[in-house]
Amino acid sequence: MCDIIWCKKEIDGKVCNTVNYLDPYCFWNWEGKVNCAECGTVYYIHMIQGFMYKGPEEKPGEKPDTSPLVADQPLNGYKCHIPGIEGRTRPYQCLPRGIYLGRADMVKFSKRGRLVRGWRPQPPSSGIAGSFGFNWDAKKLSPDVWEEYQEKLRKGEAKDW
């Protein structure tokens, strides 16, 4: 766990006293709102490298972006909310959040908008024993990407820097 939110919200005269565990897989670098697994109070937090940079600040009436991984109440016999309870703790899918799923980003153009041979699969070489020619003729070997590139050139999206 990189940090906790110890919920001190008073509800019906009773302090919530729930420890919400913030796991590094989700919260290591994270900004948003997270609910208390017990009372549902929404807190805004901002974490940088596992350090609580801002928050937790209460955000009454707002919707949470996600939930803690797990929560318990150490002052109440360690009553526990296990992972994956809808609305309380985060669904337990053994997956990090979307941006870390490592889906291939098939780049066809560099940052300045010029052609890059960076997507897969590539057409095989026509050479013997795995040999490749010295020049990759994009127009001939990847005509669809070449067309896309021409469009970029027409729009002036291919720059010098």
Q: Would you state the torsion angle of the CA atoms of residues 47, 96, 99, 21, taken in this order, to the nearest 10 degrees? A: -20
Considering only residues 52 through 71, tell me which ones interact with other proteins, judged by CB under 8 A: none
Residue 129 interacting with other proteins (CB under 8 A): yes
- The whole-angstrom separation of Cα 83 and Cα 69 is 5
Stretch near other proteins under the rule CB under 8 A, chosen from 58-66, 68-76, 89-97, 104-112: 104-112
The answer to whether the CB of 24 falls within 8 A of the CB of 36 is no
Between 9 and 152, whose beta carbon lies closer to other proteins?
A: 152
Residue 104 interacting with other proteins (CB under 8 A): yes
The one among 63, 102, 144, 155 contacting other proteins by CB under 8 A: 102
Binding flags for other proteins, 15-54, as an x/- string (CB under 8 A)? --------------x------------------x------
The answer to whether the CB of 20 falls within 8 A of the CB of 5 is yes
CA atoms within 13 A on the CB side of 133: 9
How far apart, in Å, are the Cα atoms of 99 and each of 29, 35, 103, 104?
12, 21, 8, 11
Binding site for other proteins (CB under 8 A): 29, 48, 102-105, 109-112, 114-122, 124-125, 127-132, 134-136, 138, 160-161
